């Protein structure tokens, strides 16, 4: 019943009329010319010429935008300047395709890496001792991670479009900035899910059911920041579903002694990196009224994420032990522990740039764990 309510609420928000029309209508050019006799003139100022008042408001708007953008350059935040955010999307894709590519975050692959690594861990762990993992499955799950991450971003931007306009880091997203209408976003979401279905149908029946069940988490996650201070934990349940699905795709079922510790380790890992990530937006979140573990933990954040990091590594060790994996796994697990400790101990939670840098570095943590599983399985 709770899940039904969440999906019903999400559906109502997706169908909510866009704010773009009301915002844009205020700036539509008028077709009638103003009567010169009715135009009051502003008092003389030596800094500028005489300007009609109906133009003065527009010039004030331009001046406000200019001063705001220049002042933001001095702030230690991830820049929202379009020039600073120029990517291969702007250089190589047709103009009509750019908003859709940005909606799917194709220019920011870190989310795809974070979604794909638990899948790769599980598939590699499911390989027979002394053998390489199934390359076809790795490829399928890599493509699936790209599509599902894009679909998740689309759902998130559709549901959060009103909030995104009030947050510095997200106000230029395609739906929030009115480059795309909600209806176009919904159509694009359907296209992404259709492609994802094509990948899911290539798996066994057990994996199809397990994979389809993850959509409930994907669609309900954006609502969690409105309901609880632990949306990062819910994201962990969502983003690490591949740890369950990858093993099932190879074995046709789940071995709880191996797969559940692997899944739980991913959840704790997500709590570490996404809490660091959430510190970028904590001031804006307070203004908007949404919740996060960054706000919940406050000055105690490093103590909390240190505990999560210890639980992550412990769960990975337990999963490897139950899988009877070789010694190289534990050697590289120690290296991964050092990388995670470096993130936690050196991150400057008051610096948006440093929080973003530490967050992005988690692709290397995932790569180290995958290498550890591969070498441990080959030597077992």
Position 17 scores a pLDDT of: 52
- Binned at pLDDT 50, 70 and 90, residue 24 comes out as very low
pLDDT at 12: 53
**Beta carbons within 10 angstroms of residue 354's beta carbon:** 17
Mean residue pLDDT across the chain: 82
Strand partners, 45: 48
Tell me: the pLDDT tens digits for 277-303? 999 988 888 888 889 999 999 999 999
Distance CA 145, CA 141 (A): 6
pTM of the model: 0.78
**Residue spans of beta strands (DSSP E) within the chain:** none
The pLDDT score that the predictor gives to residue 14 is: 52
- pLDDT higher than 80, residue 376: yes
Q: How many residues are present in the chain?
A: 380
Q: How far from 18 is each of 150, 166, 183, 224, 374, CA to CA, in Å?
A: 21, 15, 9, 22, 48
Number of H helices, E strands in the chain: 19, 0
Q: What is the DSSP track for 173-221?
A: STTTTTSS-HHHHHHHHHHHHHHHHHHHTTS-HHHHHHHHHHHHHHHHH
Of 283, 304, 307, 306, the C-alpha closest to 293 is 304
Asked if 122 contacts 374 with a C-beta cutoff of 8 angstroms, the reply is no
Closest CA to 3 of 156, 203, 205, 213: 213
Distances from the Cα of 165 to the Cαs of 61, 100, 309, in angstroms?
17, 18, 33
Q: Which residues contact 223 (CB under 8 A, 6 or more apart)?
A: 6, 9, 10, 159
Q: Is the pLDDT of residue 157 over 60?
A: yes
Question: Across the strands, what pairs with 41?
Answer: 52
User: What's the confidence (pLDDT) of residue 138?
Assistant: 96
* Cβ–Cβ under 8 Å, residues 349 and 276: yes
pLDDT at 58 over 50: no
- In this predicted structure, the answer to whether residue 80 has a pLDDT above a threshold of 60 is no
| Tokens read off for 339 | 């990388």
User: Residue 366: which H helix or E strand, with range?
Assistant: helix 362-378
Q: Which two tokens stand for residue 198?
A: 């094509």
The pair of structure tokens assigned to 332 is 């590289």
* Residue 372, token pair as written in the block: 């550890």
Whether the Cβ atoms of residue 297 and residue 275 lie closer than 8 Å to each other: yes
d(CA 318, CA 323): 9
Closest CA to 114 of 367, 339, 316, 302: 367
Per-residue confidence (pLDDT) for residue 160, from 0 to 100: 84
Selected from 1.10.357.140, 3.30.1330.20, 3.30.460.10, 3.40.50.300, the CATH number assigned to the domain covering 95-379 reads: 1.10.357.140
């Amino acid at each position: 019943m709770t899940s039904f309510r969440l999906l019903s609420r999400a559906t109502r928000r997706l169908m909510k009329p866009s704010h773009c029309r009301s915002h844009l209508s205020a700036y539509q050019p008028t077709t009638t010319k103003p009567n010169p006799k009715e135009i009051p003139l502003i008092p003389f100022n030596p800094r500028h010429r005489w300007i009609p008042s109906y133009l003065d408001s527009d010039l004030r708007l331009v001046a406000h935008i200019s001063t705001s953008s220049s002042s933001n350059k001095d702030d230690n935040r991830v820049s929202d300047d379009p020039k600073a955010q120029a990517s291969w999307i702007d250089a190589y894709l047709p103009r009509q395709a750019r908003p859709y590519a940005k909606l799917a975050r194709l220019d920011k692959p870190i989310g795809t890496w974070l979604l794909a690594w638990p899948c790769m861990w599980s598939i590699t762990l499911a390989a027979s001792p002394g053998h390489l993992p199934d390359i076809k499955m790795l490829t399928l799950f890599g493509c699936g991670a790209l599509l599902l991450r894009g679909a998740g971003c689309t759902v998130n931007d559709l549901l959060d479009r009103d909030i995104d306009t009030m947050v510095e880091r997200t106000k230029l997203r395609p739906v929030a900035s009115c480059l795309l209408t909600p209806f176009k976003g919904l159509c694009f979401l359907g296209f992404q899910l259709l492609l994802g279905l094509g990948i899911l149908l290539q798996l066994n029946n057990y994996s199809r059911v397990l994979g389809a069940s993850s959509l409930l988490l994907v669609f309900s996650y954006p609502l969690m920041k409105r309901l609880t201070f632990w949306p990062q934990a819910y994201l962990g349940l969502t983003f690490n579903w591949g740890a369950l699905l990858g093993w099932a795709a190879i074995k046709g079922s789940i071995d709880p002694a191996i797969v559940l510790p692997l899944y739980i380790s991913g959840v704790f890992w997500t709590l570490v990196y996404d809490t660091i990530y959430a510190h970028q937006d904590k001031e804006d979140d307070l203004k908007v009224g949404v919740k996060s573990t960054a706000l919940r933990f406050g000055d105690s954040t490093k103590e909390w994420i240190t505990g999560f990091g210890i639980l992550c590594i412990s769960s990975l060790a337990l999963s490897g032990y139950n899988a009877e994996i070789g010694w190289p796994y534990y050697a590289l697990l120690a290296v991964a522990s050092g990388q995670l400790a470096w993130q936690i101990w050196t991150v400057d939670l008051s610096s948006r740039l440093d929080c973003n840098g530490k967050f992005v570095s988690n692709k290397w943590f995932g790569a180290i764990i995958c290498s550890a599983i591969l070498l441990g399985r080959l030597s077992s």
